[in-house]
Amino acid sequence: MTGPRLGFFTRLLEEASAADRYRFALEQIDQAERSGFASAWIAQHHFGEDEGGLPSPFVLLAAAAERTSRIALATGVVTLPIDDPLRVAEDAAVLDQLSGGRVQLGLATGGTPSSFAAFGRESDRRREIFAEHLEVLLDALGGRGIRGTDSRIYPAAGDLDQRIWQATFSVDGGRRAGERGDGLLLSRTQPRPADAPDAPLHDLQLPIIEAYRDALPEGAPVRVLASRTALVVDPENRTRALELADGGLRRLAQSMFGIDTDGLGIDELARITDTHVGTVDEVAASLAADLTLAAVSDVSFQVHSIAATHELTLRSLQLLADEVAPRLGFATGPEAAADLHHAHRALVTASSEGLS
């Protein structure tokens, strides 16, 4: 593998019915596999269509498993403090059987705070609950008795407990993921500190990656994914793409950073929100300036917060894989998918293999 493996990510936010959103997502995952993406990540959100359109990621990924054969099927992320960890383990294990071992299990403490109450959880206890639920999840995936009983999940989860990724915004979170040997998920919406509102994304994420690497057990593989927003279009669609980007990026800048966006042009909005939009040349150039991407094993691309049409999203996937990825050294194709399939396995030294 040369550079990071290329991945696709969706929050299922098209202006469409739920049924069409799910159909679009499946078609996009299918296109991603045909274009050589190594992974497809889908978000989980509850209660409403504005944050994200899918409360049940394992259901949709099971449908994706039936129409694909190679691409990794990944949660980005399951909000573990809300969900029953035993059910997460069972659903993930069934999906892993259906997909031939292609599951990557992304987890997080967070999510929309208002969602917690309906599940009988307290948002301000989410880290404590996450730790409790993670212990149950690991027991279930590891084939151990659950909550002090002799009950063990069926089907057995194999090595799925080694394919966990943890999402975080913090150095401490990166360290915790590293200590367990889990993968690390980094968001495109990394909060900026009050004293550095214009800090480049890599200034904030490279220290998280360093803490993660330092905490990894000896021999544990480095698995770090950076999520980014990119919409790549043919030149004749550039003006339309920028028009579709304006409203969503303006709202994102206001909500994330409290910025008054009156008078700001699309170029400044894209810079503030770390959005890569335009032609192949433009997107390749802006991504090349993101120093985080040289330090990760995987990078996943979504179109959100751009209100891209389904057709533009499909074309963007093609252009990312066929034209942007080769310029930046991103790994694509069957080899990249196979590499991710085995990426969780501990590194084997030459001496342990009997080699000199």
User: Could you give phi then psi for residue 41, rounded to 5 degrees?
Assistant: -115, 135
Please give the full DSSP string across 6-59, using - where no structure is assigned: EEEEE----SS-HHHHHHHHHHHHHHHHHHT-SEEEE----S-SSS-S-S-HHH
**Two tokens, residue 136:** 């149950």
Residues 6+ positions from 235 with CB-CB distance below 8 Å: 279
Buried b / exposed e over 337-349, threshold 16 CB at 10 Å, is bebbbebbeeeee
**Chain-wide mean pLDDT for the chain?**
94
Write the CA distances from 119 to 84, 135, 270, integer angstroms. 10, 19, 36
111 falls in which pLDDT band (50, 70, 90)? confident
User: What is the rounded average pLDDT of the residues 122-129?
Assistant: 94
Mean pLDDT of all residues in 80-100:
98
353: pLDDT strictly greater than 50: no
Q: How many C-alpha atoms does 104 have within 13 Å on its Cβ side?
A: 36
Q: What is the mean pLDDT of residues 158-176?
A: 97
Reported confidence tier of residue 257, pLDDT bands at 50, 70, 90? confident
| 258 pLDDT tier (thresholds 50, 70, 90) | confident
Q: 52 falls in which pLDDT band (50, 70, 90)?
A: confident
Instruction: Convert the pLDDT of each residue in 187-214 to its tens digit.
Output: 998 988 888 877 899 999 999 999 999 9
Alpha helices in 16-162, H assignment, sequence order: 18-35, 57-67, 85-99, 126-141
Percent of the chain with pLDDT strictly greater than 70: 97
Q: What is the pLDDT of residue 50?
A: 86
**Least confidently predicted of 80-84, 251-255, 310-314:** 251-255
Percent of the chain with pLDDT over 90: 88
Kindly give, in sequence order, each residue whose CB lies less than 8 Å from that of residue 333, ignoring residues fewer than 6 positions away.
36
In this prediction, residue 352 has a pLDDT band, given cuts at 50, 70 and 90, of very low
Report d(CA 247, CA 134) in Å as an integer. Answer: 38
Task: Compare 111 and 39 and report the one with higher pLDDT.
Answer: 39
Please determine, for residue 355, whether its predicted confidence score (pLDDT) is greater than 50: no
Average pLDDT for 216-228: 97
pLDDT of residue 110: 83
Alpha-carbon span 257 to 264, nearest angstrom: 14
Quote the pLDDT of residue 354: 37
Confidence at residue 113, expressed as pLDDT on a 0 to 100 scale = 85
pLDDT of residue 194: 81
DSSP β-ladder status, 39-42 and 5-10: parallel
Q: Which band of pLDDT confidence, cut at 50, 70 and 90, is reported for residue 347?
A: low
Residue 193, pLDDT score: 85
Write down the pLDDT at residue 349.
38
Q: Which two tokens stand for residue 57?
A: 């990621």
Residue 208 phi/psi, 5-degree rounding, is -65, -45
Going along 244-341, which residue ranges are E strands?
275-278, 298-302
Residue 53 reports pLDDT greater than 50 = yes
